[in-house]
Chain A
Amino acid sequence: MKRGFIFFILLCSLATSGHVFAQSDIESRIRALEDVLKKQAETIKAQQIMIDDLKAQINKKTEVAAAPESKEKPAEVQPVQKAAGLFGGAAMSNPNISLVLNTYGYSSNLTTEEVRNRGIAGYTTRGIDRRNGFNLEAAELALYAPVDSFFNLYATIPVTEDGAELEEAYFVTTCLPRGHQIKGGKFKSGFGRLNSQHSHVWDFVDAPLPYRAFIGDEGFSEKGIQYTYLLPLPFYTIVGVEALQGDNDMLFGSDAASGIHAYTAFFKASLDIGNNSTILFGPSVVTGKTKTDTVAADSDFSGDTTLYGLEFTYKWQPSKDRGFKIQSEYLLRTQSGDLTDAGSGLGQSLERSQDGLYFQGIYKQADWEFGARYDILGLFKDDYTLAGEKQDWGRRPWRASGMINYNFSEFSLLRLQYNHDESDVTGKPNDELFLQFIFTIGAHPAHKF
C-alpha cells in the first residue's frame, strides 16, 4: 500500500517534470505554499495561546474553589509538574558530570631534581613529584548518578599528562534501612579526615607531613568493601569497617600477600555546640601486610604495618560570610618485618614505631580565607630499630605553612601558599611557594562537612 503510494507520487513528479514550467511559475507556487504554511503556523500559535489561557483559568478556578469538606476524602492532589529530582533535572542530565581543574605554579629554593629526591630520612625515601614552574595536578573527571533505587554510583577519573587514572569507582547502597550502608569498588578509605576527602577540597595545596611520611601524598584509595552504621543515638556517631586489597605502596603493596591484606576500622562522633559550632572527632585504625621499597634506598621491606589515627575538626560558622575552622590529625605507625638489601640480598630485622601530627586553622572572611598549618614527625614516638639497634635520624622533621585563598565564586579559587619545610634533617630547608588555581564545571559539588 505504502509502496504503491510512493510509486504514485514518483510517477506524478515524473509526469509534472515532463511539463516545461517556467522557472518563475515554480517560484511563485513555492511562495504561495510558504504563505499557506506561515498562516497555519500562526493559527497554531494563536490556538496554543488560547489553550494556555484556558488552562490558566481552570487553574485559577480550582484554586479559588472553596476548601473541600473535611469529612470527605479529597481528590488526590496531582503534582503540577513532575518532581524535578535532586540532581538538577534534565538540564544537567543523567549521569551528573563534573570536571575539576587543579593546576599550580611552584617555586622552590631547591632544584627540581633536589625536590624529587627529597625523602624524609627514617620515614620514607619517596620524594615529591613537583617541578619549579608550571604544574598540572590533574583535570579530574567525576561522574555520579543513582544506578537504580538500590545504589548510587561514583567514578573519579583524574586525567594527568601521563594519562587517565581510575582513582575511584564505587557503589553506595541507598536501599538499606535504619543507618546501614555498604560501599564497594575502589574508593577512598574512611580512615581519618583528609584521607577520605579529595585533594582539591583540602585547605592547603599539599598533604601534611604525617600523610607524606606514612600514607603518601594523596591518602589511600583502595579496592574493597566498606560497611558503615550510623547509630541511633541522640548525637551523631558512626562506625565503619573495611576489607581492602592493600595496594597502597607505602602502607601495604600489591604483592605483600596473595589476597585481601588490609583492614580498617573507624569511629566518628559529632556534636553541635550552640547554633554555630560543630565538632567532629574519632579514632581510626588500618592494619595489613606490607611489601614496599619506600623505607630505605635500594632495599625492600616486608612485614606487618598498623597505622592508628585520631582526628579532630572544629567549625564555627556564624554566617555565610564568616567562619573559623580548626583541624588536626595524629597518626602513629608501627611496623615490623625484614629489610632486605636489593643488591646483596642480605636481610635485617626492622621495627619502626613513629608518629606525626598536623594542626591547622582557617579563618574565612567574605570571599577570603587565611590559613596556617604546622606539621611535625616523631612527636612522641620515634623508634627505628634495625637489626636490634636503635637508629638516630637527628632532630624531628617539621614544616610550617601559611596560605591565603580567594574564592571568585563557589566554582573557582585562587590560592597562594608558602611552606617552610625542615623535613630533610640532613639537607637544606625547602622554602616553597605555590600559586594554585582550582576550577569546577558541571554538576554542583556536594557540600560535605
Chain B
Amino acid sequence: MKKLLISFLLVLTLAAPAVAKINVVATLPWIGSIAGDLGKDKVNIKVLVRPSQDPHQIEAKPSMILAARNADLLMYNGLDLEIGFLPILLESSRNNRIQPGKSGNLDCSQFINAIEKQETVDRSMGDVHPLGNPHYHLSARNIMQVARGMSQALAKSDPENASVYRANLASLESRLQKKQNQWSKIPLRGKKYIAYHKFFEYTARDYGFQIIDYIEEKPGIPPSARHVSKLLASAKKSGASGILTTAYYGKKEVHALAQKTGLRSIVVPHDVGSAAGINDWFSLMDAVLKSLE
C-alpha cells in the first residue's frame, strides 16, 4: 500500500513532460520584453500584470499561481512594488525553484542603484518605498545592468544555451548603446516638468531634466484641492515644459491643471503595451522620450 502510494507520487512528480524551452514568468510587461530579447526562441514568457493593471493593487489570481507553479525562472521588479501579491504568489505556487534565495528567483532591482531610499518611513507618508523608488525601468542605464543580470540568470537556469543568452545579451547591449546615442541627443537637458507621481526620477537623472513639483502630495494618494490650487499658483511661474502623468493615474487632475495653467499635459506611456505600437522596451523608451520632447 505504502509502496503503491510512493510510486504514485513519483509518477505524478516525474510525469511532467520534459520541455525544451524554459518557462520564464515576468511580473511586468517590460521585464517580459527584455527577457524575450535575451531568451528569444529558447524561452516561453508569461507576463502576470497587464499594462492596464496597477502592480500595487492586483490580487494573486489562481491563473497567476498556476503560471508561477510551472516557472523555471521568476523575474520581478522588486523594491516592494509587487509586495501585495508576490509573497503569497510564491508560497501558493508550490514551486521550490522560484523561492527567495533560489536561482529561479530573480529580483531585477538588485542590479541597479536605487534612488530615494528612505531612512524612516510610515504609512502616513503615502505609498512610500523604503527600499527606494521602484520605477526604474525608463532608464537605459538601469536596463543595461538588469539585462546583464537577467542573461546570467537565464544561463544558470539553462546552461546548455548559456552561449546563446550571452550572444543575445551582446547584441542587446550594442543595440542599446546605439539607441542610447540617439536618445542622448534629444534636447531634454535642463527642461523642467511637473509630474503626477514619482515615476520619472531615473529618466530625469539620465537625461538631465528636472521634476520640479508633484501633483500628488504623497505618493499613491490623490491630491487635496488645497495642494492643487497651491500648485496652480506656482506652476504658471515655474517655466515647466509640461505636466507628466501615465495613462492610468491622475489623467483627470493633470488635464485640469494643464487647462488652467496653459501648460502642456503629457501622457507618458508607462510600460510595454500601454499604447498602440509600443511592443517592446525599445519602442517604449522611444515613445517616452518623444513624448517629453
Contact = CB atoms under 8 A, between A and B. Distances in A.
Interface of A: 59, 63, 66-70, 73-74, 76-77, 79-89, 91-92, 146, 149, 152, 172, 174-181, 228-230, 232, 235-236, 268, 270-272, 275, 278, 280, 319-320, 409-411, 441, 444-449
Given A80-B111, A84-B79, A177-B95, 17 more contacts: A70-B171, A77-B152, A81-B114, A84-B107, A86-B90, A86-B107, A89-B131, A149-B99, A178-B95, A179-B69, A179-B94, A230-B94, A236-B66, A444-B84, A445-B84, A447-B57, A449-B62
B87 interface: yes
Contacts of B52: 319
Nearest to B78: A84
Nearest to A82: B110
B212 interface: no
B152 A228 contact: no
Which 6 A-B pairs give the minimum distances between C-beta atoms?
A270-B62, A67-B173, A70-B170, A236-B62, A91-B130, A446-B88
B221 A85 contact: no
Interface of B: 12-13, 15-16, 50, 52-54, 57-63, 65-66, 69-70, 78-80, 83-88, 90-97, 99-102, 107, 109-114, 118, 121, 123, 130-131, 141, 144-145, 148-149, 152, 163, 166-167, 169-171, 173-174, 177, 221, 248
A235 B66 contact: yes
A320 B55 CA distance: 10
Contacts of B111: 77, 79-80
B170 A63 contact: no
Contacts of B101: 149
A174 B97 CA distance: 9
Contact of B100 (A63, A146, A178, A410): A146
Nearest to B119: A91
Contacts of B173: 67-68
Contact of A83 (B110, B166, B171, B248): B110
A70 B62 contact: no
A236 B86 contact: no
B166 A74 contact: yes
B152 A174 contact: no
Contacts of B131: 84, 88-89, 91
Contacts of A77: 111, 145, 148-149, 152
A321 to B, nearest CB: 9
A299 B141 CA distance: 75
Contact of A449 (B61, B70, B102): B61
A405 B135 CA distance: 31
Contacts of B97: 177
A383 B40 CA distance: 64
Contacts of A410: 57
B16 A178 contact: yes
26 contacts: A66-B177, A67-B174, A77-B111, A77-B152, A80-B111, A83-B78, A83-B109, A149-B99, A178-B69, A229-B94, A232-B16, A235-B63, A235-B66, A236-B63, A236-B65, A236-B66, A270-B61, A270-B62, A270-B63, A411-B123, A441-B123, A445-B84, A446-B84, A446-B88, A447-B59, A449-B61
A64 to B, nearest CB: 9
B95 A80 contact: no
A92 B121 CA distance: 10
A54 B284 CA distance: 33
A187 to B, nearest CB: 13
A87 B96 contact: no
Contacts of A319: 52, 248
B110 A230 contact: no
Nearest to B130: A91
B80 A88 contact: yes
Nearest to B148: A77
A414 B50 CA distance: 30
Contact of A63 (B50, B58, B144, B221): B144
Of A89, A229, A449, most buried by chain B (CB within 10 Å of CB) is A449
Of B62, B88, B148, most buried by chain A (CB within 10 Å of CB) is B62
A80 B145 CA distance: 9
A77 B109 CA distance: 13
A175 B170 contact: no
A63 B62 contact: no
A15 B108 CA distance: 63
A68 B86 contact: no
Contacts of A68: 170, 173
Contact of A180 (B94, B145, B149, B177): B94
B109 A86 contact: no
Contacts of B50: 275
B57 A230 contact: no
A146 B121 CA distance: 24
Contact of A446 (B53, B85, B93, B112): B85
B16 A88 contact: no
Contact of B60 (A272, A444, A449): A449
B130 A89 contact: yes
A87 B99 CA distance: 12
B56 to A, nearest CB: 8
Contacts of A320: 53-54, 57, 248
Nearest to B131: A84
Nearest to A269: B62
B110 A228 contact: no
B100 A278 contact: no
Contacts of A80: 110-113, 145
Contacts of A449: 59-62
Contacts of A81: 110, 113-114
Nearest to B87: A86
A268 to B, nearest CB: 8
Contacts of B112: 80
A174 B84 contact: no
B61 A278 contact: yes
Contacts of B66: 230, 235-236
Nearest to A175: B96
Nearest to A68: B170
Nearest to B150: A77
A99 to B, nearest CB: 13
A68 B151 CA distance: 13
